[in-house]
Amino acid sequence: MKFKYKAVDKVGQIMHGGIEALSETEAINLIQGKSLRLIQLDLDEDTPKDITISFLEPKVKTADLTVFCKQLSTMLNAGIPVSRALDILASQTTNKTMKQALTQVSSHIKQGMTLSKAMRRFRKIFPPLLLNMVESGELTGKLDEVLARMQVHYEKENRINSKIKGAMIYPIVLTTLTVAVMIVMLTFVMPMFADIFSASTLPLPTRIMLGASDILRNYWYIIIAAVAAFVYGFKMFKKSKEGRRIYDNALLTLPIIGKLMSTIITARFTRTLSTLLSSGVSIIKALESATEITNNVIVMKDMSGVINNVKKGVALSALLKRVQTFPPMMVSMLSIGEETGAIDDMLSKTADFYDDELEVALSKLVALLEPLMIVVMGVGIGGIVIAMYLPMFDMFNNIQM
C-alpha cells in the first residue's frame, strides 16, 4: 500500500512525501525510523483498489448493508474483535461481492489499518454515509451504537425502495404485455389479413397498420438499433452537467411525480440528517452528507448556499425556507427542534411522517396509473383489431348494396 505523509525533520522543516508499506503501523515505523516527527498520514488515493465490481457480479443492496450493520453491531457489543467479526460475517454472507470485500477489509485490519480506512478502499460497495458514520464511531468509541443506528437507517431506506419498486411493478408489467401483444398482432396476425384484402381498396387505418406491420417485420433490426441508440443517448444526456440539471428539475416540477419526488427527498434528507446529528457528527458535515443522499443537483445547488450560511451562524430552519423542494411542515418541525434543542429527535419524527406520506402518495399514483394504462392498452390493441376488421365491414356494406 502507498501512503502520503507530512512530517517535521530535525531542524523543524515540514516535509511531504510518499512511502510504501504493508500497513499503516509499518508506515509510521518507517517514517519515525527516518528521524521524522509524523504530523499526518493518509492512504494514497491513487492506490489501486482491491476489488473491481463487474456487471456480472452481484451488487450489494440496501438489504445487505442492513444485515451487515446489524450483525457487526451485535458482535462488537458482545466484545468480539473487529477482524474476527468480519471473518464471521464473510463466512455467512451469500453475496459474493460482499464476501470478497469483508475478507479483504478484515485482512487490512489485521495489518494495522482502521475499519473506516479499510472500508474506504471499497467505495463501490460501502456508501459515503456509512463510511463517515463508521469513522465517527471510531473517534467517539461508540462504533457498535453507530452501526445500530445505521441498521435502523438502512431498514427504513430499504422500506422506501421496496414501496417505490412495488408501486412500479403493475404499470411496467401492463406496459410490457401491451407492447408484446401489439408486436405479435402486427408481426403475425396482420400479414394474414394483408393477403386476403390485397386486391381491395383498404381504409386508411388498415393501410397504416399494414405499413407498420411491414416495417416491423422487415426492418426490426433498425428499430432495435434506434431504441438502443435512444437509450444510450438518454443516459449520456443524463450524465452531462446540463442534462442532469434538466432531468432533475423535471422530476421536481412534473405534475404528480414532482410531489412524489419531493416527499422522497424530504424523507431521506431528514432521516440522514437525524442519524448523523444523533451520532455526534458536526452540523456542517451532517448537512453535506444528507444533501448528497438526495441525489438531485437542484437540491444540492440550493443546499450549498444553505451550508455556507450555516457556517456563518445563520439558523438552519430560516435558510431551508429558501429550498422550495422541502415542504413548509418540515421547516416548521426543524424550527421547533432548534428551539427545544432536540433537532435530531424532531427530524426523526419528521422522516417517519413523510414515510407515511410517501406510502399514501404511491397508492394514489398506482390508483391513477391503473385506469390510464388500461385505456392505453385498449386504444393500442383495439386500434389494431378495428383496422383489421374495417375492410370486412366495407365488404359487407358493398354486398348489401
The string of pLDDT tens digits covering residues 55-98 is 456 788 888 899 999 999 999 999 999 989 999 998 888 888 89
195 vs 32: which has the higher pLDDT: 32
Specify the 3-state DSSP secondary structure of 5.
strand
Residue range 259-281: mean pLDDT, rounded: 87
User: CA end-to-end span of the chain, whole Å?
Assistant: 92
pLDDT at 103 over 50: yes
Specify the 3-state DSSP secondary structure of 187.
helix
Residues whose CB is less than 8 angstroms from the CB of residue 161 and which lie 6 or more positions away in sequence, other chains included: 62
pLDDT at 186 over 50: yes
The structure's pTM equals 0.71
Band of the pLDDT at 46, cuts 50, 70, 90?
low
pLDDT at 200 over 60: no
Q: How far is CA 57 from the centre of its chain?
A: 18
In terms of Cβ atoms closer than 10 Å to its own Cβ (0-12, 13-18, 19+), residue 50 is middle
pLDDT of res. 51: 44
291 with 325: CB under 8 angstroms? no
Q: How far is CA 247 from CA 23, 151, 251, in A?
A: 44, 32, 6
Domain extents in the chain = 2-43
Q: Which residue has the cell 502520503?
A: 4
Q: Per-residue b/e over 307-341, b at no fewer than 16 CB within 10 Å?
A: beebeeeeebbebbeebebbbeebbebbbebeeee
Q: What is the pLDDT of residues 145-181, one digit of tens each?
A: 889 988 988 888 888 888 888 878 888 888 888 889 9
Vertex 126, ends 123 and 131: CA angle to 5°? Answer: 90
Band of the pLDDT at 250, cuts 50, 70, 90?
very high
Beta bridge partners of 19: 3
274 with 152: CB under 8 angstroms? no
14 vs 188: which has the higher pLDDT: 188
Residues whose CB is less than 8 angstroms from the CB of residue 288 and which lie 6 or more positions away in sequence, other chains included: 307
pLDDT of res. 161: 82
C-alpha cell at 205: 387505418
Q: What is the pLDDT of residues 347-389, one digit of tens each?
A: 888 888 888 888 888 888 878 888 888 888 888 888 888 888 8
Residue range 246-257: mean pLDDT, rounded: 90
Cα gap 291→268, rounded to integer Å? 9
Q: How far is CA 103 from CA 5, 46, 88, 97, 374, in A?
A: 27, 22, 9, 10, 50
Q: What is the pLDDT of residues 298-348, one digit of tens each?
A: 999 999 889 989 888 888 888 888 888 899 899 898 889 888 888 888 888
Vertex 65, ends 60 and 70: CA angle to 5°? Answer: 150
69 with 147: CB under 8 angstroms? yes
pLDDT of res. 298: 92
